[in-house]
């Protein structure tokens, strides 16, 4: 499988895309797609990563779940050590994201990740991989479709996303007249609960506020 890195990052000659995909498939078997988070959520975090001049900027922004008001945000800057390779973005984004999350004083009940979760060709997008790394409930919130096909809208107001006969996520319209977003399980949460949480966090904008907040901060830090 060929790829063209977007940054001049050198990988070890021993690195293999095929072996990385095999590892993803193995790790995906550890993903818990059942609810292991509190019934009453107090804090929700958004996570995003931006890039500038060989530096990866990880952001974790914590919001009050009920009011969506900012509680805390942390930023981590690391040298980018992995190139852009489609389907392997988590290898590039976990180090800065993990470093930002480690700095948090407030412990979120669930993390909304700017990226794919289980809706991934190897069932291990950024949200699932990060969820396993931190062993916390995570949800993938993606702006575009990576794999699978969208089924007709069901009675619940969202469209199942299927791949090879398996439901891997959902196409969700958070605001009438806007493009949909793609929600999938990260870790330790069910798809239905993930959709409900994302909808609860998307009150003013199409993108849920925790993810939007992290994205805004990441953009500000990138411009610095």
Instruction: Report the pLDDT value the prediction gives residue 7, as an integer from 0 to 100.
Output: 36
Verdict on whether the full-model pTM lies above 0.85 = yes
Averaged pLDDT, groups of 10, the chain, 224 residues long: 37 82 96 97 98 95 98 97 93 96 97 98 97 97 96 78 96 90 98 97 95 97 86
Residue 121 is predicted with a pLDDT of 97
pLDDT value of position 155: 57
pLDDT at 12: 66
How far apart (Å, rounded) are the C-alpha atoms in residues 82 and 94?
10
The CA distance from 88 to 131, in Å, is 15
Domains of the chain: 17-223 (3.30.2170.10)
What are the tokens at 200?
């609860």
Say what the pLDDT of residue 3 is.
29
Owner of token pair 């993930």: 194
Strand 138-142's sheet: what is its strand order?
Answer: 70-79, 55-64, 43-52, 110-114, 138-142, 181-187, 166-172, 159-163, 149-150
Sequential DSSP letters for 47-94: EEEEEETTEEEEEEEEEETTT--EEEEEEEEEE--S---TT-HHHHHH
């Amino acid at each position: 499988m060929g790829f063209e890195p977007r940054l001049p990052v050198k990988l070890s000659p021993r690195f293999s895309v095929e072996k990385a995909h095999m590892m993803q498939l193995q790790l995906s078997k550890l993903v818990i797609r059942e609810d292991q988070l509190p019934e009453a959520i107090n804090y929700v975090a958004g996570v995003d990563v931006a890039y500038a001049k060989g530096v990866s900027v990880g952001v974790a922004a914590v919001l009050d779940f009920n009011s969506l008001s900012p509680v805390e945000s942390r930023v981590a800057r690391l040298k980018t050590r992995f190139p852009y390779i489609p389907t392997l973005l988590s290898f590039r984004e976990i180090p800065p994201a993990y470093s930002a999350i480690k700095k948090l004083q407030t412990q979120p009940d669930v993390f909304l990740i700017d990226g794919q979760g289980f809706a991934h060709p190897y069932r291990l997008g950024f949200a699932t991989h990060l969820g396993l790394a931190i062993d916390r409930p995570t949800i993938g919130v993606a702006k575009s479709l990576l794999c699978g096909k969208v089924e007709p809208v069901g009675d619940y107001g969202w469209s199942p996303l299927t791949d090879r006969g398996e439901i891997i996520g959902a196409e969700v319209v958070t605001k009438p007249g806007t493009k949909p977003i793609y929600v999938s399980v990260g870790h330790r949460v069910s798809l239905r609960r993930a959709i409900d949480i994302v909808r609860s966090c998307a009150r003013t904008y199409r993108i849920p506020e925790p993810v939007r907040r992290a994205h805004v901060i990441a953009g500000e830090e990138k411009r610095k």
